[in-house]
Structures are given as C-alpha cells and as structure tokens.
Amino acid sequence: MSGDWQPGQRIPVEHELATEYRCSRMTVNKALSALAERGMIVRRRKAGSFVAAQQIDRTVMDIQDISTEAELAGYQHDYQMLMRRIERLDASDAALLREPAGAEILRLQCLHLVDGKPNAIERRIIMLDAVPLARDEAFASVPPAKWLLEQVPWSKARHIIRAVSADAATARLLETERGEACLTLIRQTWQNGGTVTYVEITHPGDRFQFAGDFQPAEKDAFDHTTRRSAT
C-alpha cells in the first residue's frame, strides 16, 4: 500500500520497475499490459504508461441467446415466428443501423416462450447482402439467433440496454399490461465493417434482468492500491 495513484500520473518505465522489483521486464510487461486491458492505465510507446484519466468501472455482462439461457436454467424454450418479410431498408432504419437505405433486408418478428410463458419478443433485421442464405431460410425449427450463429461469424457487437413501456401490441404478446416496464436489449453485430444483423429483444421487466460481475483479478500489481470508480 504505497498510496494512491493520481489520474494522469506517469508510471516508471518497465525497465525501472523490473530492477526495482527484481523481476524480468517480461513480467512487468505482462502485469502492466493486463492493467491496460482493464483500462486502469494507458500505455503509449515512447511516452510511457499513465494512470487512466476516467477510472471506469468495467463490468463483464454475459449476454446469452434466449434459447441457450433457457436451456442452461433447465427450462423448455419454444418460439413462434410472427412475421417474416423481405423488404428494403427505409430511411429511419437506415439511420438507426448506419447502413445505406434501400439495402435488401429480411425482417423477422418472433415470440419466445420459456416454460410455455411468453418471455420475449424478438424484432430482427438481417442484411441479405451479408447473409444471402437467409433469403431461403424459414427458421421453422432453429431460432434466428442460433441459425445466424452457425452461418455467420461476427467480429464486433454492440449492445444497448433500455427500459421501455410496453405498447399495446407488445403487452398483448407478452401477456402483460400495457405500459408495463420492459427491458429491451438491442444488439447490432458486424463483420468486416458491414452490419450482419440488428435485433431488439424485449422482455417483460418482472421476469427478466441482466447481471454482471467484476473482480480485479490482478493481484494488486506492484503493491499499489489502484482506484476504481463508482462504489
């Protein structure tokens, strides 16, 4: 516990730390790289390593496919295809996805049931350019998430979690009240810079939540107490 590190403060160079702690530079490098990956320090060649300015609380959330999740919890998962339509991307969706309007898409809507009870509505857009095989796929037995997973690897994903009030259609499908608080997970996945799919999954708020853990894992590298945000 040799004290706190102020944001922006420079950390001694690897070589110095190595001699100070009687270990090889590789070992120091590994430790500092781990800290950098966690966002606690920032490293720049020639400039050096610095305590990160915004000390952020990085939480790892395990966000799963509904069917997998149900399976793991030992529940039965089922789903119904409510809509399946080939369209062209309209202006508003194009802006949302940041893809050119007019691109051919497959628009899906389906209802997921866990243990026989409605658990989520999935509204999905699949870019047919990126996944041409989807054009002829009915998704009769395999849910779209699973099917896509087997067809297309993705290289980047972005998630957004929102609270929304159930509109009339959503409430009816999820067998809940209109205006009920729902948790919507929005996920967009990319491959080679192009969108593969965009999906909004809406869960009834009283039957769903997201959980995530964080532990530093690094064994207090170099005996310093590192600061963290948001307690």
Partner DNA sequence: TATATCTATTTGTATAGACAAAAGCGGGTC
Partner DNA sequence: GACCCGCTTTTGTCTATACAAATAGATATA
Partners of residue 121 on adjacent β-strands: 111, 202
Q: Binding string, 46-85, against DNA, x = CB under 7 A?
A: xxxx------------------------------------
Q: Between 86 and 157, whose beta carbon lies closer to a copy of itself?
A: 157
**88 binds, options a copy of itself, DNA, none, Cβ within 5 to 8 A by partner type:** none
Q: How far is the CB of 70 from a copy of itself (least distance, A)?
A: 12
Residue 54 near which of DNA, a copy of itself, none (CB within 5-8 Å, type-dependent): a copy of itself
Alpha-carbon Rg for the chain in angstroms: 23
CB 159 within 8 A of CB 201: no
25: left (phi over 0), alpha (psi -120 to 50) or beta: alpha
Structure tokens at 143: 């849910």
What minimum distance in Å lies between the beta carbon of 43 and a copy of itself? 15
Amino acid letter, 122? E
Residue 209: contacted member of DNA, a copy of itself, none (CB under 5 to 8 Å, by partner type): a copy of itself
Angle, CA 201 vertex, CA 197 and CA 205 arms, to 5° = 160
Q: Which of 37, 38, 41 is nearest to 8 (CA)?
A: 41
Nearest to a copy of itself of 84, 224 (CB atom)? 224
Residue from 7, 9, 13, 158 in contact with DNA (CB under 7 A)? 13
Listed in sequence order, the residues at least 6 apart from 157 whose beta carbon sits closer than 8 Å to its beta carbon are 187, 188, 189, 190
Select from 4, 7, 15, 177 the one that contacts DNA (CB under 7 A). Answer: 15
163: nearest Cα among 184, 186, 188? 184
The strand pair at 104-114 and 10-11 is best described as unpaired
Interaction site with a copy of itself (CB under 8 A): 4, 39, 54-65, 68, 72, 145, 148-150, 152-165, 179-183, 187, 189, 196-197, 203, 205, 208-216, 225-231
Q: How far is the CB of 184 from a copy of itself (least distance, A)?
A: 8
Q: Which is nearer to a copy of itself, 9 or 225 (CB)?
A: 225
Closer Cβ to DNA, 50 or 190, answer by number:
50
Three-state DSSP at 217 gives coil
Contacts of 142 (CB under 8 A, 6+ apart): 150
Beta carbon nearer to DNA, 25 or 207: 25
Residues of the shown chain interacting with DNA in the complex, contacts defined by CB under 7 A = 11, 13-15, 22-27, 29-30, 32-33, 36, 43-49
